[in-house]
Structure 1
Amino acid sequence: MQKVLFIGVNWPELTTAAGTRMMQLLQVFLKRNDQVTFASTASESDFSIDLNALQITKAPIKLNSTSFDVFVSDLQPDIVIFDRFIIEEQFGWRVVAHAPNALRVLDTEDIHSLRNIREELFKKQVSFSSKLWLQTDMAKREIASIYRCDISLIISTFEMELLQKRAKIDSALLLHVPFMVEALSEEQASSYPDFSARKDFICIGNGKHAPNVDAVLWLKTKIWPLIKKQLPEANLHIYGSYLAQQVVQMHKPKEGFYVNGFTENLEDTFVHARLNLAPLRFGAGIKGKLLDSMRFGTPSITTPIGVEGMADGLPWNGAIAIDEVDFAAKAIALYTNEAKWIEAQENGFKILQTNYDAVRLEHQFITALEKIQKNLIRHRQENIVGNLLLHQTMQSTKYMAKWIEAKNA
Structure 2
Amino acid sequence: MKHLVIIGLVIPEPASTAAGHRMMQLIQLFSEANHKITFLTASNNIEFSEKIEIEKIEINNESFNEKIKELNPDVVLFDRYVTEEQFGWRVSENCPKALKIIDTEDLHFLREARRKAFVEKREVNNEDLVNDIFKREIASILRCDLSLIISEFEYDLLVNNFKINPNLLFYIPFLTESFEKNRTRFEDRTHFVSIGNFLHEPNWQTVLKLKQIWKSIKKKIPEAELHIYGAYMSQKVLELHNAKDGFLVKGRADSVEEIFNQSKVLLAPIPFGAGLKGKLWESMKFGLPNVTSSIGAETMHKDLPWNGFIEDSDEVFVAKAVELYQNENIWNKAQENGYQILDSVFRKDLFADSFINKVSELMENLDNHRTENYLGKILQHHHLNSTKYMSRWIEEKNKKK
1:77 aligns with 2:86: no
User: What does the per-residue CA deviation read over 1:265-299, in whole Å, with 9 as the maximum and x for residues that have no partner?
Assistant: 21110011110001110111110000110001111
Instruction: Name the aligned partner's letter for residue 129 of structure 1.
Output: N
CA distance in 2: counterparts of 1:234 and 1:260, whole angstroms: 15
Please give the secondary structure, in 1, of the residue aligned with 2:227.
Answer: strand
1:258 aligns with 2:259: no
1:36 aligns with 2:26: no
Which residue of the partner structure matches residue 102 of structure 1?
A: 98
Q: Quick check: 1:5–1:80 contact (8 Å CA) kept in 2?
A: yes
Please give the secondary structure, in 1, of the residue aligned with 2:86.
Answer: helix
User: What does the per-residue CA deviation read over 1:35-93, in whole Å, with 9 as the maximum and x for residues that have no partner?
Assistant: 10000011134212222xxxx3x210011111111111111100000010000001111
1:339 aligns with 2:329: yes
Choose the corresponding residue for 1:196, options 167, 180, 187: 187
CA distance in 2: counterparts of 1:7 and 1:62, whole angstroms: 11
Shift in CA distance, 241/378, structure 1 to aligned 2, threshold 3 Å: same
1:384 aligns with 2:374: yes
| Alpha-carbon shift at residue 192 of structure 1 (Å) | 2.0
1:215 aligns with 2:206: yes
Q: Quick check: 1:84–1:107 contact (8 Å CA) kept in 2?
A: yes
Between 118-127 and 253-262, the greater mean CA deviation after superposition:
118-127
Shift in CA distance, 268/378, structure 1 to aligned 2, threshold 3 Å: same
User: What does the per-residue CA deviation read over 1:157-207, in whole Å, with 9 as the maximum and x for residues that have no partner?
Assistant: 0100111111110111010011112122xxx21x52111111110000001
5 Å matches for 1:222-371?
222-371=212-361
Please give the secondary structure, in 1, of the residue aligned with 2:244.
Answer: helix
Shift in CA distance, 331/74, structure 1 to aligned 2, threshold 3 Å: same
Please give the secondary structure, in 1, of the residue aligned with 2:174.
Answer: coil
| Alpha-carbon shift at residue 128 of structure 1 (Å) | 0.8
- Equivalent residues, number: 398
Please give the secondary structure, in 1, of the residue aligned with 2:115.
Answer: helix
CA distance in 1: counterparts of 2:116 and 2:393, whole angstroms: 32
Instruction: Name the aligned partner's letter for residue 206 of structure 2.
Output: A
| Alpha-carbon shift at residue 147 of structure 1 (Å) | 0.3
Between 196-205 and 386-395, the greater mean CA deviation after superposition:
386-395
Q: Which runs of 5+ in 1 are unaligned?
A: none
Please give the secondary structure, in 1, of the residue aligned with 2:368.
Answer: helix
User: What does the per-residue CA deviation read over 1:134-164, in whole Å, with 9 as the maximum and x for residues that have no partner?
Assistant: 2x11101100000000000000001001111
Choose the corresponding residue for 1:129, options 125, 135, 143: 125
CA distance in 1: counterparts of 2:263 and 2:351, whole angstroms: 30
CA distance in 1: counterparts of 2:36 and 2:96, whole angstroms: 19
Q: Quick check: 2:33–2:356 contact (8 Å CA) kept in 1?
A: no
| Alpha-carbon shift at residue 394 of structure 1 (Å) | 7.0
Shift in CA distance, 22/393, structure 1 to aligned 2, threshold 3 Å: closer
Q: Quick check: 2:89–2:383 contact (8 Å CA) kept in 1?
A: no
Q: Which runs of 5+ in 2 are unaligned?
A: none
Q: Quick check: 1:154–1:176 contact (8 Å CA) kept in 2?
A: yes
**TM-score, scaled to structure 1:** 0.95
Instruction: Name the aligned partner's letter for residue 90 of structure 2.
Output: R
Which residue of the partner structure matches residue 7 of structure 2?
A: 7
Q: Tell me how large the CA RMSD over aligned residues is.
A: 1.3
CA distance in 2: counterparts of 1:389 and 1:194, whole angstroms: 56
Between 12-21 and 118-127, the greater mean CA deviation after superposition:
118-127
Please give the secondary structure, in 2, of the residue aligned with 1:350.
Answer: helix
Between 281-290 and 304-313, the greater mean CA deviation after superposition:
304-313
Please give the secondary structure, in 2, of the residue aligned with 1:254.
Answer: coil
| Alpha-carbon shift at residue 393 of structure 1 (Å) | 7.2
CA distance in 2: counterparts of 1:97 and 1:211, whole angstroms: 37
CA distance in 2: counterparts of 1:262 and 1:24, whole angstroms: 22
Between 21-30 and 152-161, the greater mean CA deviation after superposition:
21-30
CA distance in 1: counterparts of 2:290 and 2:343, whole angstroms: 17
